[in-house]
Amino acid sequence: MADGGEPEKKRRRVEELAEKMAVDGGHGENTRDWDGRWNHVRKFLERSGPFTHPDFEPSTESLQFLLETCKILVIGAGGLGCELLKNLALSGFRQIHVIDMDTIDVSNLNRQFLFRPKDVGQPKADVAAEFINRRIPGCNVVPYFKKIQDFDESFYRQFHIIVCGLDSIIARRWMNGMLMSLLIYEDGVLDPSSIIPLIDGGTEGFKGNARVVLPGMTACIDCTLELYPPQINFPMCTIASMPRLPEHCIEYVRVLQWPKEKPFGAHLSKPYSICLFFLSGVVKRIIPAVASTNAVIAGMLQEKQFSASFSSAYVPLNNYLVFNDVDGLYTYTFEADRKENCMACSQVPQDLKFASSAKLQDILRYLTENASLQMKSPAITATMDGKNKTLYLQTIASIEERTRPNLCKTLKELGLTDGQELAVADVTTPQTMLFKLHFI
Ligand SMILES: [Zn+2]
């Protein structure tokens, strides 16, 4: 079926026709802004209404800001990302950047509608950007086939708004931490111009949520970490010394053996490494994806994004919306509270209370299992006698092996004292977290 077959021909004709309609806007010529192109957006920006903000003054300048100036970063070009890019571009936003580290898999094609069978294996960000730019005149989507961790503060600072459509809590928390690090405080007072709103969405099967985070002002991702289901972590000692459940064995291979032997290169993502659904469930923690949920949540994100871009025009979402259509249809909006001692946004030093007879393993377990910390692979260092000492580091196999005996030592045996500061680095945040150890 390389070239031909009726269905294939028909599909091409439909695509060609759709393309033509999009590019000439139905007017027969390739103009960027044909008559009435932005009428739908103008209705929101150039007249007032029952839901507008009390201070709102309708203006024709808002449309220019939307079309020319407003710079948006979309993180993720997957299920939510495709919907978001389409929504943003059709609403007139033209300066859109998109980051995604994934390539297109054939299983994405049922819902990630910017991709076609010929695109399988290509970077999602590149293909999505190319599609939007081709179909929507004047739109300039800039793709990055990279990880969010590959960019620094100066990159993120250029955006007016960041919209996240991610399937990873770690990446979401990292992004949240990055926006916190951009905040500027003068004499303890937050400089509002340093705030970049984060619009975050997530879906899982028929459920989803959309939320607005104004960093330093409203509840952040880490403030509400308890809302996420706890990830099951297996204690390292169990995995290393006495794996007794099938899950332990999989983790043993994933955490200890894989990094050393790298049987298929660095990554554990190829199909041949995952043949059992159970196994893939443990290793990749697969979440089902439903196209209609993505569409609903992306629509909500777009609306929140729109209202955050024109903060004087709308009363913004305050601040957390849940959606559920498992049985009937249910939505609910509530105001998530900031957490006083939030690790990410409170600027309050974090305390660790342990007996001096506790083992390093206990601290590690606390950092990963405590509902408000939920770290993934924390690396713990301490400054002792003026020297930095790595107590435990999991992500580099040789260091893991060398520091693993520390896990079974007590805090006292490790030479830690009451009031000792511990620096903890983890994939959930771009910043090193400082903890103060208190003996009880
Ligand atoms: Zn917070």
pLDDT in tens, 170-180: 899 999 999 99
Q: What is the pLDDT of residue 24?
A: 44
Residue with the bigger pLDDT between 168 and 105: it is 105
Residue with the bigger pLDDT between 4 and 373: it is 373
Mean pLDDT of 281-287: 56
Beta bridge mates, 204: 207
Q: Under DSSP, is residue 134 helix (H, G, I), strand (E, B) or coil?
A: helix
CA of 62 to the centre of ligand 1 (A): 31
Q: What is the pLDDT of residue 237?
A: 59
CA of 243 to the centre of ligand 1 (A): 36
CA of 91 to the centre of ligand 1 (A): 31
Q: Give the containing element (helix H, strand E) for 351.
A: strand 350-354
DSSP annotation of 339: P
User: Among 114-118, 188-192, 195-199, 253-257, whose mean pLDDT is lowest?
Assistant: 253-257
Mean pLDDT of 188-211: 92
Which residue is associated with the tokens 């305390």? 351
Give the Cβ contact number of residue 440 at 10 Å: 8
Using one digit for the tens of pLDDT, what is the confidence trace for 36-53?
999 988 988 888 888 777
Residue 282 has pLDDT above 70, yes or no: no
Q: Under DSSP, is residue 353 helix (H, G, I), strand (E, B) or coil?
A: strand
Q: What percent of the chain has pLDDT over 70?
A: 85
Q: Give the containing element (helix H, strand E) for 415.
A: none
**Distance (Å, whole) CA 81 – CA 433:** 30
CA of 429 to the centre of ligand 1 (A): 12
Q: What is the dihedral of CA 191, 194, 196, 197, to 10 degrees?
A: 0
Residue with the bigger pLDDT between 181 and 28: it is 181
Residue with the bigger pLDDT between 12 and 45: it is 45
Residues lining ion ligand 1 (Cβ < 5 A) are 220, 222-223, 342, 344-345
> Given pLDDT bands bounded at 50, 70 and 90, which one contains residue 151?
very high
CA of 422 to the centre of ligand 1 (A): 21
* 374 CB burial (10 A radius; 0-12, 13-18, 19+): buried
Instruction: Name every residue whose Cβ is closer than 8 Å to that of residue 202 and which is 6 or more positions away in sequence.
Output: 80, 166, 167, 172, 208, 209, 297
DSSP annotation of 410: B
Q: What is the pLDDT of residue 335?
A: 92
Q: Give the containing element (helix H, strand E) for 213.
A: strand 207-213
Residue with the bigger pLDDT between 177 and 229: it is 177
Average pLDDT along the chain: 85
> Given pLDDT bands bounded at 50, 70 and 90, which one contains residue 251?
confident
Candidate ranges 219-223, 266-270, 369-373; pick with highest mean pLDDT: 219-223
Mean pLDDT of 129-141: 95
Task: State phi, psi for 82 to the nearest 5 degrees.
Answer: -60, -45
> Given pLDDT bands bounded at 50, 70 and 90, which one contains residue 268?
low
Mean pLDDT of 304-324: 77
> Given pLDDT bands bounded at 50, 70 and 90, which one contains residue 210?
very high
**Stated pTM of the model:** 0.78
User: Among 8-12, 118-122, 300-304, 378-382, whose mean pLDDT is lowest?
Assistant: 8-12
Q: What is the pLDDT of residue 61?
A: 87
CA of 186 to the centre of ligand 1 (A): 19
CA neighbor of 381 nearest in space, from 405, 406, 347, 358: 406
CA of 423 to the centre of ligand 1 (A): 19
Q: Which of 237, 275, 342, 408 is catalytic?
A: 237
Q: What is the pLDDT of residue 289?
A: 83
Q: What is the pLDDT of residue 22?
A: 52
Residue with the bigger pLDDT between 150 and 22: it is 150
| 237 classed as catalytic | yes
Residue 318 has pLDDT above 70, yes or no: yes
Q: Under DSSP, is residue 382 helix (H, G, I), strand (E, B) or coil?
A: strand
Cβ atoms 403, 391 nearer than 8 A: yes
Q: What is the pLDDT of residue 69?
A: 92
> Given pLDDT bands bounded at 50, 70 and 90, which one contains residue 218?
very high
Residue with the bigger pLDDT between 264 and 182: it is 182
Residue 233 has pLDDT above 80, yes or no: no
Q: What is the pLDDT of residue 62?
A: 86
User: Among 31-40, 217-226, 320-329, whose mean pLDDT is lowest?
Assistant: 31-40
Amino acid 381 reads: T
Mean pLDDT of 227-243: 65
CA of 166 to the centre of ligand 1 (A): 19
Beta bridge mates, 431: none
Residue with the bigger pLDDT between 272 and 348: it is 348
The number of angstroms, rounded, from the C-alpha of 50 to the middle of its chain's C-alpha atoms is: 34
Q: What is the pLDDT of residue 133?
A: 96
